[in-house]
Amino acid sequence: MNEKKQYQADISDDAVAEALRAVEKPAGADTPAAGAGGVEIQVEETPSGPAGGEAEAGPSRQDLIETVEKLRQEAKAARERMLRIAADADNTRKRALRERDEGIRFANEELLKDFLPVADNLDRSLSALAAADFPEALTALRKGVEMVRDQFQAVLRKHQVEKFSAQGQPFDPGLHEAISREECADAAPGTVIREIHCGYRYRDRLLRPALVTVACAPAGAKADEGTSSAAGSAESVNP
């Protein structure tokens, strides 16, 4: 709101009358000195602030700092999310490529596995022919079967199928499949004493485990071992 201030000037009535007469006189006439009296003059002050009231205050420096920090944190979080998404996509791509490569490498696995019984029968035929004394014709037949067996094994090796034997080896559940246990005093317990058929590997995978019989300690040896242990315990108690 505009404020009005009042100012008092002492001017005499005679001076006012003289001033009025001087206005009516020609220019250049002398003006008498001012006398006593009072005239009230209204003076209006111009407001110092902007029109329409005080200006609205802008954001403080602290508010700007907090806003910038918040935006920086949001940008950092968004970047981390993008990096995680990119890493997940890369891992998915690598896994898909690995599965594709394995599918190509082992595409013939089932086909090759079906050939293995044929190889087993060839081995059994040769074993039977070698067990008896045959005339010359059967000897020639045996040699022919050997040639077929060797050729077949060469084809398997060409396709990276390798034959392995478990005979005399410690039983390995990762490579051997036991169908029975048999008491044997000549072999350590857990040793393969009979191989029904050999095992095969395809590249770095087990194509077929070896089918085996595993040795175990004879019942008499177990009883003797138990008796010896009991006797040893008794001796240690009664010196």
Q: What is the pLDDT of residues 199-220, one digit of tens each?
A: 999 988 999 999 999 999 988 7
Find the mean pLDDT for residues 30-37.
48
Q: What is the pLDDT of residues 132-166, one digit of tens each?
A: 666 776 777 888 888 888 988 998 998 899 999 99
Judged on CB neighbours under 10 Å (0-12, 13-18, 19+), 153 is: middle
Predicted pLDDT at 56: 62
Q: How many helices (H) and strands (E) does the chain have?
A: 5, 8
The DSSP symbol for 203 reads T
Q: Report d(CA 38, CA 94) in Å as an integer.
A: 104
Band of the pLDDT at 96, cuts 50, 70, 90?
confident
* Sequence-ordered strand ranges (E) for 36-111: 39-44
C-alpha distances (whole Å) from 63 to each of 58, 66, 160, 203, 212 are 10, 5, 72, 67, 80
Predicted pLDDT at 36: 45
Q: Report d(CA 184, CA 186) in Å as an integer.
A: 6
Predicted pLDDT at 102: 78
